[in-house]
Amino acid sequence: MIMRDAERGTLSEEEETEHHVSNPAPPIDDGTDLTRREIIKLAAAAMVVPPSFQAKPRAKKPRATPLRFFTQGEFAMVDELSEMIIPTDDHSPGARAAKVAEYIDQRLAEAWEEEPKRDWREGLKLIDQISNEMSGRPFIQASQEQRVALLERIAQAEANPQKPEEKFFVELKSRVAYAYYTSKIGIHDELEYKGNTYLRDFAGEDVSKK
């Protein structure tokens, strides 16, 4: 199942985000957005195995970080795919505002192993190939409806991916969710985490009296 309507980009290597978005992609109104967002949120909360390129604490930076792994074309694809998976909605900003694509770029650049780098490059090439087959256009030049149709196609076997594009979608969705829900926007705006709070009354059992 595809996540929510659009995708978002995340923080750069040492960024915590207060995000300023220009021209965010419009959400996809297919009637299943809330369900998708809740599923993604639950999946992100259940993650116990760290990604192969792990998150680091993010500090705010005054300017954008240059790309370190993706080409400009690859970055544009990841940014759009991320916003389609976790879109901006009435509740909180999306993956683009959270700078998810930037964060993935930084982590891939720092990955020691070549396999994840190769998998991402091949996966993005495959997305363009499928887009050309379906619409006669590269993914980034396809219409919103054509992009949605492509995403639905590669996501349909998410529970048991067999084809290369289906396996890449699982990887893509996992990285987008991890990057988003470890960003400031994901934690504070989406999950509404308030931090540690003072309890006036102890709600547990006082074992010292036993």
Between CA 157 and CA 182 the distance in angstroms is 26
Between CA 21 and CA 61 the distance in angstroms is 15
User: What mean pLDDT, rounded, does the chain reach?
Assistant: 75
pLDDT of residue 13: 39
Between CA 3 and CA 180 the distance in angstroms is 12
Of 15 and 79, the structure prediction assigns the larger pLDDT to 79
pLDDT of residue 27: 40
pLDDT tens column, 16-38 = 333 433 333 334 344 444 445 55
Between CA 72 and CA 65 the distance in angstroms is 13
Between CA 177 and CA 184 the distance in angstroms is 13
Of 42 and 171, the structure prediction assigns the larger pLDDT to 171
Burial of residue 133 (CB within 10 Å: 0-12, 13-18, 19+) is exposed
Q: Are 98 and 4 in contact (CB under 8 A)?
A: no
Q: Please list, in sequence order, all residues whose beta carbon lies within 8 angstroms of the beta carbon of residue 113, skipping any fewer than 6 positions away.
A: 52
Q: Are 43 and 134 in contact (CB under 8 A)?
A: no
pLDDT tens column, 91-100 = 888 999 999 9
Between CA 58 and CA 48 the distance in angstroms is 20
Beta strands per DSSP E along 35-189: none
pLDDT tens column, 165-190 = 999 999 999 999 999 999 888 887 66
Q: What is the average per-residue pLDDT within 33-52?
A: 46
Domain parsing of the chain, residue ranges = 33-193
Stated as kind and residue range, the H or E segment containing 121 is helix 115-135
